[in-house]
Structure 1
Amino acid sequence: MGKVMPEVLLEHPAPHVALVRIHRPEARNALNGEVRRGMNTLFAQLAADPEVRSIVLAGSDTVFAAGADLKERAAMDVVGAMNFEPTRGIANCPKPVIAAVNGYALGGGCEYAMQCDIILANDKAKFGQPEIKLGLVPGAGGTQRLPRAIGKYNAMWMLLTGNFVSAQDALRMGLVCEVIEGNCEPRAIELAKQIAELPPLA
């Protein structure tokens, strides 16, 4: 297991497959500046690596990412807020990225998943954009990607209420393509291997 930063881990579970893991277990994988910078750096490296053909993005077996690090945001001054670095590395990556969502994917965590090309979820997964309950706006593309993924009315229901949806409801809405009982990471790796074995320039 390699480390880009302590909060972002890189693994190679199969030939031509990279696994990027959000690793802040003490904070339920809340997304702070170190995670954002690590993700941008790592995805740029993976995009340029000819040996990598597909990528899995994962958290732990109980939480994908619980959203932004609110303690960090509360401590930001005006300059810090203006220099806030979003994560665009996932969306800009030209290689297929599969989100393996175990447990909660909330706020920025849900937005990270939606930047991926395929989302798999375990049966305990919950998705949500609860920013409205904090007087915030989803700042990493949620207001744009969610309607495209699940339609205007489902998206507005989630965005305007801050309510969570279960894995099965996310499947019904079209946000995820498979729901797996237990840990969905092995299935995501299996799918990434299948993709990596196909012609990369297709």
Structure 2
Amino acid sequence: MAIPERDEEVIQEIKEAAQVLFRKYGLKKTTMNEIAGALGKGKSTLYYYFKSKDEIYEAVVMDEMHDVFAKVKEAINDAPNAKEKLKAYSVTHIKTVKEKITLKETTGIPICESFEVINKIRKRYDLTEISFIKNLLKEGVESGEFKPLSPNDIDLLAYTVVCSLRGLELPLFVDKGYPDIDLRIEAVVDLILNGIAK
């Protein structure tokens, strides 16, 4: 069932007001009262659309995840072949996540405070990301860029790529990452590509 346009507008206003407060004070210190005050509405309005502050936070993070995928898709559309698409996917994905984490860190709010919530949302995206990588791998096999791979190999490799990206993301959350994160991403992707390239 579609949400009426006015309700969509109010939901977006709530998320935008909450996002400013989450960046300023963090998840734990932001209250429903503060969100309602920033919005210029009563708390009852918030509770009409969201059950809790955590649910609002999840909605804000989901929007950020959609933004990550939008940037990744744009980078892939500009890539000329499957190999470059896989590189563009990996590099753009990590860079966009890093930018979002850096933005949160510049507010002085420790990102690890909300890592559990973010990780829960990330798990929802795992299947989407695995499917996305599988399609890139299939494209490379069909175009002759990659060696012939069985469906099982494609599944396993797609899962490995997504897990590798998660592994590279983790230091970004915990200790602001490695100074040479871009080189590490390229090295991981090159290792994978060297194994499957014709």
Instruction: Calculate the TM-score normalised by the size of structure 2.
Output: 0.26
TM-score by length of 1: 0.26
Bigger Cα Rg: 2
Q: Which has the higher strand share?
A: 1
